[in-house]
Amino acid sequence: MRPRRILHVVDEMARGGITTWLMAVLRKSAPEDMQMDFVVHLPGRGSYDDEASAMAARVIPCTSYRNSRLYARDFNRILTEFGPYDAVHSHCHFFSGFVLFLAKRQGVPARIAHSHSDTSAARSRPGIGRRVYWRVMRTFMNRYATLGLAPTARAAQDLFGTAWRWDPRWRIFPCGIDLEPFERSYDKTEVRSEFGIPDSYPVVGHVGRFTAPKNHTFILDVFSAAVAMESRLRLLLIGDGPLWEAVKREALRRGLQDSVIFAGSRQDTARLLSAGMDLFLFPSLSEGLGLALVEAQAAGIPCLASDAVPEEADVVRPLVRRLSLSLPATVWARELIEALRRPSPVTPEEALNMLAGSRFNILNTLEELLRLYSES
């Protein structure tokens, strides 16, 4: 049998939860089972472009997404020129409705909408134009999708509607993580010396794109209160994004330039989580799931997360403590300091074993994904 040919549609190939998962799928899948290409909407090269190309996955720009007529022309050309594809798998939330409509017109047999987030809070006060757009896109998805995936019930309801549970096409599918990097041994002194952090200094870390839902301003609020209690404390921020400069300016304004480290986009996230951080801080305003929180548990470090993060992300439950975003930053800071002082309830080996047996192990989810591609 020939491999399944899958076209993924994403905004860009920058490092983030969606693309990190897709790259893990690409690395772990056998070429004889599946071949993947990527359509990207934003101009410019992404962090994963070169690696994807090296594994024979084509990264194809289609930047006319703001004009439906031009986008339809360009997307149809891509399907003709680079296809045929067995499946179009769209990761663009409501815009997926239009993508799958075009894929249906071109005769693509499997058409998949994938919800990776719960945007209901951000959509609480829309204008009439946005309401019409969401209604039309959801209608398109209901009509043209052969399969819909979401990591949690909240993410499924956000994209597919309140009746999603009664439609057999819509399914809960947790995106897995590659556990192999967490099985390696890393030198704590070596990792921290890269950032000028002495071994004895406690390090709070965060991994995520610098976007509004990640709540970086509140991270600075919590850290400001915590560093007043423990002056040696350091904050290690991994990631990039549109708000990176603004958050960096805010850290400078607060006089935190010597204790906050902006590490940028990194390829060695598992190494930094395992040997560079003592606690993971994740006060997101919203998450589809929060794979970064799952990765922190794979590293075996305690995690302090908001109650806006779906509980499905709590795989190693003794490591995760949740607080409400309605609580002041000082309460979060006190809990952070206490968590740093408590002995870990599980060893890193025990935490990793729990992840290995869960649906968040990429090897388990890859098998399920291949089956879904074959069935849809």
pLDDT above 90 coverage of the chain, percent: 85
- Give the model's pLDDT for residue 129: 86
Instruction: Render the burial of 292-331: b for 16+ CB within 10 Å, e for the rest.
Output: bbbbbbbbbbbbbbbebbbebbbbbeebbbebeeeeebee
Q: Which residues contact 296 (CB under 8 A, 6 or more apart)?
A: 205, 207, 273, 277, 280, 282, 303, 319
- Give the model's pLDDT for residue 25: 95
- Give the model's pLDDT for residue 318: 96
Least confident stretch, 111-115, 124-128, 192-196: 124-128
Per-residue pLDDT reduced to its tens digit, 50-84: 999 999 999 999 999 999 999 999 999 999 999 99
Tokens 């472009």 label which residue?
49
Distance set, CA 292 to CA 28, 97, 244 (Å): 19, 27, 18
Tokens 């999603």 label which residue?
164
Residue 235 burial (CB count, 10 A): 23
Q: What are residue 282's DSSP bridge partners?
A: 305
Q: Is 145 exposed, middle or buried, given 0-12, 13-18 or 19+ CB atoms closer than 10 A?
A: buried
- Give the model's pLDDT for residue 119: 82
- Does residue 226 contact residue 205 with C-beta atoms inside 8 Å? no
- Give the model's pLDDT for residue 34: 94
Tokens representing 94 are 């409501």
Measured between its terminal Cα atoms, the distance across the chain in Å is 17
3-state secondary structure of 238: strand
pLDDT above 70 coverage of the chain, percent: 98
- Give the model's pLDDT for residue 365: 87
**DSSP of 151-171:** SSHHHHHHHH-TTGGG-TTEE
What order of strands is seen across the sheet that includes strand 203-207?
260-264, 234-238, 203-207, 279-282, 303-306, 320-323
Domains of the chain: 4-176+361-375 (3.40.50.2000), 180-356 (3.40.50.2000)
- Give the model's pLDDT for residue 124: 66
Side-chain-side CA neighbours of residue 332 (13 Å): 27
Split at pLDDT 50, 70, 90, the class of 102 is very high
In the predicted structure, residue 166 carries a pLDDT above the cut 80: yes
CA pair distance 25, 178, nearest whole angstrom: 9
The distance of Cα 294 from the centroid of its chain, to the nearest Å, equals 10
Picking from 305, 308, 313, 307, the residue whose alpha carbon sits closest to that of residue 289 is 313
- Does residue 12 contact residue 40 with C-beta atoms inside 8 Å? yes
In the predicted structure, residue 172 carries a pLDDT above the cut 90: yes
In the predicted structure, residue 29 carries a pLDDT above the cut 70: yes
Distance set, CA 87 to CA 64, 101, 123, 223, 312 (Å): 22, 13, 29, 45, 28
Distance set, CA 325 to CA 55, 223, 283, 309 (Å): 42, 15, 7, 11
- Top-ranked range on mean pLDDT: pick from 10-14, 114-118, 222-226: 222-226
